[in-house]
Amino acid sequence: MGKQGINILKLNVKKLTKMLNAALSEEWLAYYQYWIGARLMEGPMRSEIEPELLVHADQELNHAVLVVGRIIQLGGTPVLNPADWPKFSRCDYEAPNDPYVEIILQQNLKGERCANQRYKEIADFTSGKDHTTHQMATTILNEELEHEQDIEDWLTDLQRMKEDLKKIRQ
């Protein structure tokens, strides 16, 4: 972005690029969390949930594309080394050691809640001060909220299925 474009922003651009680099690191970790989890997953509703998790993974990657574009526009340097992702990220990456569907979904759910918090903070920080980043953050936030809802719905369905099976056995 031109110097004028940066100068008209009424906020601390350095602080903003730091927040965006944290978000970028979180997106890459979320991408891999979804992608590897989908590959390994076992259990009920797998054939239904697996492709949806891969859709979420693609959307996380698209968020990374948006965020990296904005960092560059702001004159910042996007995180260059994957070894820095866990250092910049506030969201934990949890290795899917147990491939059971509910465990995988819980890991992804934690990531979504962490992402919601991140984009809410970026949206708050840029509100009325940097319309471009604000618009991007709210767009991403809406998708993260949809992801959270999808996962909660699958967990509810799985719980329901378990309860129905218990009733049949009684």
Q: Please report, as ranges, the residues that interact with Fe ion according to CB under 5 A.
A: 27, 60, 63, 112, 144, 147
Q: How far is the CB of 43 from Fe ion (least distance, A)?
A: 21
Closest distance to Fe ion from the beta carbon of 130 (Å):
19
Q: Which is nearer to Fe ion, 6 or 103 (CB)?
A: 103
Give the nearest distance from C-beta 146 to Fe ion in angstroms.
8
Question: In angstroms, what CA-CA distances link 35 with 59, 126, 130, 155?
Answer: 11, 31, 33, 18
60 versus 130: smaller Cβ distance to Fe ion:
60
Which of residues 17 and 31 has its CB atom nearest to Fe ion in the complex?
31
Residue 112 or 130 with smaller CB distance to Fe ion: 112
112, 91 contact by CB (below 8 A) = no
Which of 161, 125, 147 is CA-nearest to residue 27?
A: 147
DSSP state of 66: H
CB of 59 to Fe ion, least distance (A): 6
Matching residue, tokens 């972005």: 1
Q: How far apart are CA 153 and CA 89, in angstroms?
A: 26
* 36 residue type, one letter: I
